[in-house]
Structure 1
Amino acid sequence: MTARQARPRTRALALCGAVGLSLALTGCGGGSDDTRPPTAPSTAPPAAPSASASASPVDPDAEVKAAVLEVYSSMWVEQMKAYRVASPDGTKLADYATLDALSTFERDLAHMKKSGTIGTGRLGHEPEVTELDLETKIPTATVEDCVDLSKWKAERTSGEVIPLPTAQPLRYVATATVERWDEDRWMVTAYKPDGSRSC
């Protein structure tokens, strides 16, 4: 069975170089203000609440999605540890990420180490499973994450703060592929930031 669900906002993760447009936030409200005098009170009894209102249906894949997000979030924690010291040493990043995803992170870390930079502050994110395919030979999930750079800083090891490029969006989308390699083990196998998608 393939489960797809639309979602009102996208979510993601990345640490360097993504470019996009910031999202304009708008609000709306309204309604008329009726100032006519009230009519005589009605003698009819108040209507009972409708019995047709029902709770939202339970997602049959909720447990699987929770397992996917647990692995993705664990990867995220280890990735942040690695970026704070520009090295995967002493982290469990390889326990949660592999293949293209792990290679992407290792390239980032090697570049950071070579340039003498580290990440500080807090990198926000809001992951969500947007696609789930449990019928393929290797069950696969897609996670979209909204990365928030507003409290994240890149610094040189000397302590000098490196400002973000002026075109750098503070919130943008990253997409991860997560695969189940055995009954109980999910792994993040691909990770791609998309600076053209704000969130």
Structure 2
Amino acid sequence: MLDTYTLMWAEQMKAYRKADAEGTDLAKYASLEALGKFRLDLAHMKQAGTVGGGEVGHTPRVSSIDLDAKLPKATVTDCIDLTDWKAKKVGTGEVLPLPTNQPKRYVAIAKAERWDGRWMIVDYTPDGERAC
């Protein structure tokens, strides 16, 4: 389960570094609903003329899992660390500061389901109100 979450994040970072999911395997790990949230973020980045740079830190853990359900489900709770993440202006590479109300470390919750023998992230919700 955590492998799928980690692979999803690796593909998400590829997309954020160019503000485009094209050419990534993000859809291999994230379902339509979760993928839609990421694509919305990417659209905002593209509209603002920004891309991501640096690294996002993680400390994911499986906070619940039900393997006995007809459709096995799990929840991952992650502490997202933006200390080494930078937004950059396309073309110039100018580093832009994060919004002042953006915490450097916050909780994110990912919901996963096991489909045809593999885990898929079906929902991803960052919670900027919950610091970690």
Same structural fold, with TM-score higher than 0.5 when normalized by the shorter chain:
yes
**SS state of the match for residue 126, structure 1?**
coil
The whole-number CA distance in structure 2 between the counterparts of 1:172 and 1:114 is: 25
**1:99-140 deviation per Cα after TM superposition (whole angstroms, max 9, x unaligned):** 211100011111111211000011111110000012222110
The whole-number CA distance in structure 1 between the counterparts of 2:74 and 2:56 is: 23
Aligned to 2:123: 190
Larger helix proportion of the pair = 2
Residue type of the alignment partner of 2:63: T
Aligned length: 131
With a CA cutoff of 8 Å and minimum separation of 6, indicate the structure with the bigger relative contact order. Answer: 1
Residue type of the alignment partner of 1:175: I
Q: How does 1:67-82 map to 2 (within 5 A)?
A: 68-82=1-15
The whole-number CA distance in structure 2 between the counterparts of 1:180 and 1:151 is: 32
**SS state of the match for residue 85, structure 1?**
coil
Residue type of the alignment partner of 2:98: L
Aligned to 2:115: 181
The whole-number CA distance in structure 2 between the counterparts of 1:165 and 1:87 is: 22
4+ aligned runs moved over 6 Å, structure 1: none
Q: Structure 1 residue 119 and structure 2 residue 52: aligned?
A: yes
- Tell me how large the CA RMSD over aligned residues is: 0.9
Residue type of the alignment partner of 2:78: D
The whole-number CA distance in structure 2 between the counterparts of 1:117 and 1:191 is: 22
**1:38-58 deviation per Cα after TM superposition (whole angstroms, max 9, x unaligned):** xxxxxxxxxxxxxxxxxxxxx
Q: Structure 1 residue 96 and structure 2 residue 29: aligned?
A: yes
Residue 144 of structure 1 deviates from its aligned partner by 0.6
Q: Structure 1 residue 106 and structure 2 residue 45: aligned?
A: no
| Structure 2: 5+ residue stretches without partners | none
The whole-number CA distance in structure 2 between the counterparts of 1:144 and 1:81 is: 22
Report the TM-score, using the length of structure 2 for normalisation.
0.96
Report the TM-score, using the length of structure 1 for normalisation.
0.64
Identity %: 59
Residue type of the alignment partner of 2:107: V
The whole-number CA distance in structure 2 between the counterparts of 1:111 and 1:171 is: 21
